[in-house]
Structure 1
Amino acid sequence: MTNKPMVSIVCTSYNHGDYIAEAIDSFLMQKTNFEFEILIYDDASTDQSPRVIKQYENNYPSLIKPIYQTQNQYSKGVRVEMFNHNRASGKYIAVCEGDDYWTDPYKLQKQVDYMERHPACSMTVHAADRVLSDKKKVLSRVRPEERNAIFSVERVIEGGGDLIATNSMVYSKEKVKVLAPFYLNAVVGDYPLVILAALHGTVDYLDENMSAYRVGVKGSWTERELATSLKRINHYHDMEKMFDEINEYTEYRYNSALEKAKLGYRFSLLLEQGRFREAKHGEYRKIYLELGAKKRVLLEMKRYFPNVTESIRKARWKLIH
């Protein structure tokens, strides 16, 4: 073993006090033939997160290296992921947010072994469970393929933010060393990071389920940023801007895929605005038909019974929390 870690585990936390211990434990359980470091960034949490992290830091002072902010930087528009990315000293960077966790003790070893054998690979990802907050009920699985696969740039773009579980990502810092403007300006972090990795190497999917991704976490990014119709509408516009920036960055080599992705967000925007007739016709019809019968029925309910569907949505959030 060398003094320099092979992998830097980067973890961003904000008010994850109920979950951060499980995340750290899942890092510590990793069985590897190489060294790794655990970089935790706490963005001025107001719950017990800093205290929990401090306890682990005291127990593993050479392994766990936290940053404790006293003022929330995300609310100031700071790209908080950069704090860990910039100080990571590992050849590879493994990502896991403070409210998620890994389930396979050999996860890092498997991904690093693969990337060492495939030097063209800039990022490996894998399957994951979507679990319901602290109840851990499996709601669905993130499994884009039923076999190992290499995702093209087009597949990554068109697949959207739900194609890959964030806490499955391990990427090469050398290949993704310079973070492009479209990533730094984006309102999301994981989706443009995968696109950036695909532009500088291959994104390789390993068909093994090795992590759990929590949904319905109170105070999560989704709840804060997409809780109201206005916020969701602004988000769709922001994503379209990101696609335009990627188009310019890539000199329009992936224009077709980016325009298709933009069309999907415009479709979502029409639904959010209640413009259901437009969403079912013209260039949007194919997207509408691809939703499947169940989702189309729900959209028709939203169209003709908006108050009922909104009540169902609110009740679902209450049940989750």
Structure 2
Amino acid sequence: MEDNSLVSVIVLAYNQQDSIARTLDSILMQKCRLPIEIVVGDDASTDGTRAVCEDYARRYPDIVRLMPAAPNKGMVDNYFDCMLACRGKYIADCAGDDYWTDPKKLDKEVEIMEADPSVTIVHTNWRTYNEDTHETKDNVVEQFPAPKTDGKQMLEAIITQTTTPVVHLCTALYRAETIKRCYAADTDLFRNKDLGCEDIQTVFMLAINGKVAYMPDVTMTYSIGKPSFSNQCNHAKQFRFVRQTAMLSWLLASRAGIDTGRTRWFFSLRAFELLMHAFRSGDAKLKAVALECMSTWNVKPDRKIKTVLAVMSNTVLWNVMLGVRGAFVALKRFLNLA
């Protein structure tokens, strides 16, 4: 049963024993006009993450709800299991390695949502923190800086985002009723693990159903620098992530009837990225998958795609170019260390 006086905050965690307390503390420090609950989904961590979460659940039994222990689900199922468990009128989330920096974040967002029922999601600016270099950097890309935007005007940008998200979901607050209604109407769109993520379809469906509000305030620090689901060192795994998220964008574009020069550029870019990951991995099977994606996305090969396909068409040439690339990478690493 939805509680109209409550804000739910989803926290996903996996092997983040060194950062999860920072995340939870940043939520507990919130000064919000509505009470909050924190729904924590620890996805079968193999380190001490769950023990930290259990400690917070014991210390804050009226606020922190730790989802029952279960075999590893993956990020998609973990997120939407938590979403369905949320009891609040509004839902926010903060990943287990990120943290909020503004104690009034939720209160400011609730004020906007309460004042305008047509707003389905409100989000803010953020900064990044490199866990390796300890460098903090402000995000300077604000694609839709207006206080409120008709969400339908943002759909193309949402499905063609490359490096900077149009809406960083960990800064956002959204209407539980809206997203749960969309989820019930098309559960596969949200639960399909082969679509790779939880945020793009969530933001897209909220945008298509109302207005998107924005605050330029920096309210969240986004941790980077270490391997994550979207930032992986293994080229085969990165290939899979790029393919999954691009297929999600293709599905959303198809359903909304969006076919523009921007979308065609985006799918051409993603096809090239897939081919390059296939090339670097030395896996001919990945090349075949990339070609299938090109066909599905109606991508016409440009000069870059034709070049990489020509290299990969000859096994000997492919191996030679891999050797050249390896030598170049080794030299670059040596020079950086010198």
Structures share fold, TM-score greater than 0.5 = yes
Q: Is the 8 A contact 1:243 1:258 kept in 2?
A: no
Q: Which residue of 2 aligns with 1:261?
A: 266
1:173: which partner in 2?
A: 176
- Tell me whether 157-166 or 54-63 shows the greater mean CA deviation: 157-166
Residue 129 of structure 2 corresponds to 131
Deviation at 1:48, TM superposition (A): 1.1
- Cα distance between partner residues in 1 of 2:322 and 2:95: 36
Distance 1:78 1:122, change over 3 A: closer
Residue in 2 that maps onto 1:112: 110
Measure the CA separation in 2 of the matches of 1:309 and 1:157: 34
Could you tell me which residue of structure 1 aligns to residue 229 of structure 2? 221
Q: Which amino acid aligns with 2:197?
A: V
Q: Which residue of 1 aligns with 2:253?
A: 247
**Who is 2:199 aligned against?**
190
CA contact (8 A) 2:159 2:249 kept: no
TM-score (normalised: structure 2)? 0.74
TM value normalised by structure 1:
0.78
> What is the RMSD computed on CA atoms of the aligned residues?
3.3
Which among 250, 260, 272 is matched to residue 277 of structure 2? 272
Instruction: Report how far residue 311 of structure 1 moved.
Output: 4.1
In structure 1, what is the Cα distance between the partners aligned to 2:126 and 2:266? 23
Shift of 1:168: 0.7
C-alpha change, 1:107 and 1:4, in structure 2 (3 Å) is: same
How far off is 1:207 after superposition? 1.0
Q: Percent identity?
A: 25
Is the CA contact 2:3–2:87 (under 8 Å) kept in the aligned structure 1? no
Q: Structure 2 counterpart of 1:10, which letter?
A: I
Q: Distance in 1 between matches of 2:40 and 2:213?
A: 26
| Contact 1:133–1:215 (Cα < 8 Å) also in 2 | yes
Q: Distance in 2 between matches of 1:113 and 1:262?
A: 38
Q: What are the ranges of 5 or more consecutive residues in structure 2 without an aligned counterpart?
A: 281-299, 305-320
C-alpha separation in 1, matches of 2:208 and 2:34: 28
- Seen in structure 2, the aligned counterparts of structure 1 residues 272 and 199 have a Cα distance that, compared at 3 Å, is same
SS in 2 for 1:174: helix
Report the alpha carbon displacement of residue 31 of structure 1 after superposing the two structures with TM: 0.4
Which of the pair has more CA radius of gyration? 2
Extract unaligned runs of 5+ from structure 1.
276-281, 287-301
State which drifts further: 168-177 or 148-157. Answer: 148-157
Please give the alpha-carbon distance, in whole angstroms, between the structure 2 residues aligned to 1:314 and 1:57.
45
**1:137 positional shift:** 2.0
Report the equivalent of 1:66: 66
The alpha-carbon distance between structure 1 residues 134 and 304, as it changes in their structure 2 partners (threshold 3 A), is closer
CA distance in 2, matches of 1:7, 1:114: 14
Greater alpha carbon shift after TM alignment, 46-55 vs 180-189? 180-189
> How many aligned positions are there?
288
Q: CA deviation at 1:129?
A: 0.9
Pairing 1:67-86 to 2, within 5 Å after superposition: 67-74=67-74, 79-86=77-84
Q: Which amino acid aligns with 2:200?
A: Y
Distance 1:240 1:59, change over 3 A: closer
Q: CA deviation at 1:86?
A: 0.4
Residue in structure 2 matched with residue 8 of structure 1 by the alignment = 8
Alignment counterpart, residue 86 of structure 2, candidates 85, 88, 100: 88
- Which letter maps to 2:54? K
Secondary structure at the counterpart of residue 220 of structure 2? strand
Counterpart for residue 102 of structure 1: 100
| Of 158, 177, 183, the match for 1:156 | 158
